[in-house]
Chains A and B, each alone.
Chain A
Amino acid sequence: MLVAVLTYVGYGVLTLFGYLRDFLRHWRIEKCHHATEREEQKDFVSLYQDFENFYTRNLYMRIRDNWNRPICSVPGAKVDIMERQSHDYNWSFKYTGNIIKGVINMGSYNYLGFARNDGSCQEAAARVLEKYGVGVCSTRQEIGNLDKHEELEKLVADFLGVEAAMTYGMGFATIFSMNIRALVGKGCLILSDELNHASLVLGARLSGATIRIFKHNSECAIMEGSIVRLPEVIALKKKYKAYLYLDEAHSIGALGPSGRGVVDYFGLDPKDVDVMMGTFTKSFGASGGYIGGKKSSAPVPVPLKGGDHELWKKSTDVASGFRIASNNLPLCIPQELIDYLRTHSHSAVYATSLSPPVVEQIITSMKCIMGHDGTSIGKECVQQLAENTRYFRRRLKEMGFIIYGNEDSPVVPLMLYMPAKIGAFGREMLKRNIGVVVVGFPATPIIESRARFCLSAAHTKEMLDTALKEISEVGDLLQLKYSRHRLVPLLDRPFDETTYEETED
């Protein structure tokens, strides 16, 4: 509670100073760096909403050097960052010409370590590049449908355990184009999780359906490091005869004993999820997204009565997904879902398809994960990620930080709370050669600003140990060790009768 009070005090002080500096800028005592209209335009309707930029001007600009850092190498386990300096308090940056080499990368969504510029994936992609070139120059429906795309879609369907799949060039556009009129429209109801990704939120809004948002409860988008309670969602879905849309952008490849996502993690039948969506950006080291259709008994569209509140009761989210109940859903049997999408989805009609080297990267990495290339590299990667996750989380909790999220999630949010610590944490970690991502208000609730670590199978134990040591140092420096529960370090030797159980303080 003390931390919450101090956080508010921090924001209050920043707000007061913001007003002061705005006042100074208005009276030209201080130089004005942001965009304003010219003198002669001042009598017209204003172009810029000055107050809406208050936060950007006064808070974000102070710590802006923690974001948009340019990197100049492949974002693997270690990355090179271009050093930049600012002489006018982050309003403009200059490159010093130095490159900070070997920064341990805790920010890339590189869960299985496929973001590499060497290895079999890269060689296969280079071969395909020589054969097909880089650009496709057309949409899927016209002349941009390569045999590589067909091969990829069969592979994706096989990987997920669904009947058919469809791939798109951009992950964001996959959701966006899918919702708009392709699957839902006016008269449909979408139950959407509080912490859904921007693409889901925007796509749902654009579709014109009624949206109801439910609290995160204890399943969260994996972006926040928690895992949805899929068995309960599926039970609810069957009870109310709704459709389930599962967004596995982060969890595909990262969760589950064989890396097939959250469905695999719970050991459920993929046929229970109506629409499985995911992206190739995170675990496969490529770009683009996919949608997989499932075979289930043809769901009867439930006509929504006016006051049908039971449908809105505690429903659970699925790793950033939402449930659709509709009375005029255009699709009937999900085998036709994919065929329907091929004709009706906006991305298929208007957007260019995936580039061939990218497709080959996905195919090679997916085959590697499934074990089809004959080696066990894929399985080792998945296991290494799981081990890294558990080790890292356990050590952080032992050190006394507050960590959100499920034990098995490779996204580790570490709470910072105070606005000043957001900037301090990012900068201190960079000084110690570790790159992290920090987020604050308004992307998170006002007191819950955090640093988000994304673990990777490419991180070796030594890298993790170095990172943990530095995090601990910075944590002591900034007093981030808020946790009042001290986890006793687990015994690493096997338990036998002669060892006594340690008790907590």
Chain B
Amino acid sequence: MASFKKTQIRSLPKIGQKVTADTLYWRKLNFPVTVKEFGPIDYIDVMPIEPYFIAVSSAAKVQIYNPITHQVHRHFTRFKEAAYGASIRSDGKLVVAGCDEGHIKLFDIGSKSLLRIFKGHKGPVHRCKFTADNVHVVSFSDDKSVALWDLPSETEIIKFSEHSDYVRAGCVSSISSDLFLSGSFDHTVKLYDARSPTGSTISVDHGSPVESVLMYPGNSIFVSVGGTELRVWDMLAGGRLLARVSQHHKTITCLHLASDGKRLVTGGLDRHAKIYDVQSYQVVHTLDFPSPVLSLGITPDDFTVVAGMANGLISMQHRQTPAEARALIPKQSLKDQKKSQTTYRFRLNADFRNVNRTFNPATDVEVATKNDNSLVSRYDMFLRKFQYSKALDTVLGKYIRKKKPAITVGVMHELIRRNGLKSALAGRDDSSLSIILTFLARNINDPSHSKIIIQVANTLLDVYENSCLTPQSEKLFLHLQEHVNREVEYMKHLMEIEGMLHILLASTTTQTRRGPVNIGQGPPVKVMLPSAAAAANATMVYNVG
């Protein structure tokens, strides 16, 4: 009638980072190549067309890196003091950079020659950008002003001096040559239209000094960062606040779009870069860096991620190509690969194909997923034939017991159900006994497995109670006992802390509630689990003793 139903492997959802499509995508970045510069990396700009050169401004020079070779392709050193905010034109031919003396310098990448110098700012210029028509430059200066320059005539067209503090952030619209955005340390973000020279069209208050701003390609939304907050504004609604996201715990310094405008990346002084989904502003992945991140650059195809750090390090990470991914798997020769393609059905690996990989944020709830795989695992084959020892041997293989202990525990659970655990454990030689004992000692602390592991350990003690053991096994039994004792100690401590917390909670809730109510307001199932494990552990200690 019914076909054999597979053994259920219960794996509780992992606490911590979830495995999602995004984490898998961003995890594919290779080990970074780092270059050390003399000063902090102020700004990184990526050429929007191939070969995606990267302009890095740090100290008194601007360097253009080749992202493939990681070599300096060009460098511009004609700055007296620090150079800031070098940005490459969309055709990849010109680069513009601001500097400490208040000038804006325009270079030709091909010939390395200085083409124009725009003079007029009284303070250092930290950011400058080409407009969408490629013949104007917008500059953002510490003299609290924003200026629009004409490229051919080298003249200033408009100047807006509306800010009351340094203007350290700015960007231009990608479709309109007249719109640009400035962010200042006076907490405001202003949108200017070159066609209305009277003043800014939108001004919004960010709440803290603005470090970077960004306009979405559609020209309807812009984003500002500063302090620990990311704010999203609706441009069409006149600067309505759409979202406030605070995911960094130190100042956010830079902003970048990635994945074709579907993801937003922020870097901060807390040494992280966070990747957000642009629809929900949820963090989908976090990149870690060794030092505070000041600037970020991502190539349009997401192939290279460049981060500039406060200690002068530039980290360049490439995405793994399929060939590289293959090469990373060691010890698999071409012959092996061929073999694995043809006879994979008979390999033990088949066991892992049906492991659930969906995860749920709630830690005490298991997600139901369908096992469509009709492949029968080896342990199921033995279970079907009532060969319990062999089934247990199968799941005590090195790979399964170390990498997928849930499978081992699942089979042990099934053996308990079938009343076959005793016979599966009995009559083992020294080496297989030591494997079991090591497995038990390793996993007895895991709250999701401990219930079954304790049961197995008790049965094992029953079976080998009166038999003569080798010194090695005896040592392992004592080792297991040590583990249990330690766990019991931990649990005692935890329960003490829990008790303290209960007192605190109770004292805060009694003021609002009358009557003899005793409710743990929130302790869900999970909180209670360790105490049960502890209780069960305690009974086991008796057995050992």
> A and B: real partners?
no
B residues near A (Cβ < 8 Å) are none
